[in-house]
Amino acid sequence: MFLCLKMAVNYHSNTEKIAQMLRNAHNPEVCKIRKDFFDAEFSFLKSRIQWKNVLVAWSGLWHDAFVLAEYNKYVTGIELIQNFVKEANENLKKTNYKNISFIYWDFLNYTCPDKYFDAVVLNMWTIGNFDDKESVIKSLFRMWKKLYFGFWIPEVKDISFRLQMYNEEKNFRDVNFEIDWTTIREKNSWLESNCTKTEEIQNIVHNIWAKVKLYPVFKSFVVAEVF
């Protein structure tokens, strides 16, 4: 998504803007480019995670959890924003899914001694927007077999593509973007889309005594599998 949660940002003050952007992003009538992105994302996840107990960290409004539930045993979503959990549960009631639950919690402080997960997925693929990536990766990886998260690598040739995708997603009249190399920012808010070098991810994973495989999924978007 075109949003970031830096440790210094007040995530709660922008909840409705974020919620509307999430709704837009998952509406193929609004965001045709993002649909292709999601198709690639979900195809990759299905190839790697099936019939597992899955944790979706920062689960948003519901979207990734609903897709993962189609071919996994159970999906637990953790979300920092209580209104998002409420909306996710309201939408869950409209479905026939019996293998999903959404929890209001900060995944950085989440412990689950009575629950075992085979894999964790960082929803919204925003590892590149965290100031302290190592703490996030370490927190997510500490009690699961495998961790998946995605990031944009710095490819100048994809800037115009990403900008077009974010313009669709915003769907607002007051869009005002600026570009700094491969970072795209909205001038009137804290929203930005950052890139991360593969070497940085590899070094972080090495520091936590784990291994990583990197998979190109969609243009310059890469998914890391930490194990």
Q: What is the CATH number of the domain that holds 38?
A: 3.40.50.150
pLDDT digits (tens, 9 = 90+) for 183-217: 988 777 667 888 999 999 999 999 999 999 999 99
Whether 3 is covered by a domain: the verdict is no
* Predicted local confidence at residue 185, as pLDDT: 85
pLDDT of residue 27: 77
- Ranges of H-type helices in the chain: 15-25, 32-48, 63-69, 82-92, 133-141, 159-170, 198-207
Q: What is the pLDDT of residue 210?
A: 95
| 193 within domain boundaries | yes
Residue 111 within a domain: yes
Range of the domain at 46: 16-226
| Type of residue at 119 | A
Residue-level pLDDT at 117: 87
For 167, residues 6+ apart whose C-beta sits below 8 A from its C-beta are: 175, 177
- Residue 1 inside a domain? The answer is no
Sign, CA dihedral 27-40-17-82, equals positive
**Residue 173 belongs to some domain of the structure:** yes
Contact 59, 82 (CB under 8 A): no
Domain count, the chain: 1
* pLDDT < 70 stretches in the chain: 1-14, 112-115, 124-125, 171-175, 189-190
57 domain residue, yes or no: yes
What pLDDT, in 10s, does the model give residues 26-37? 777 878 888 898
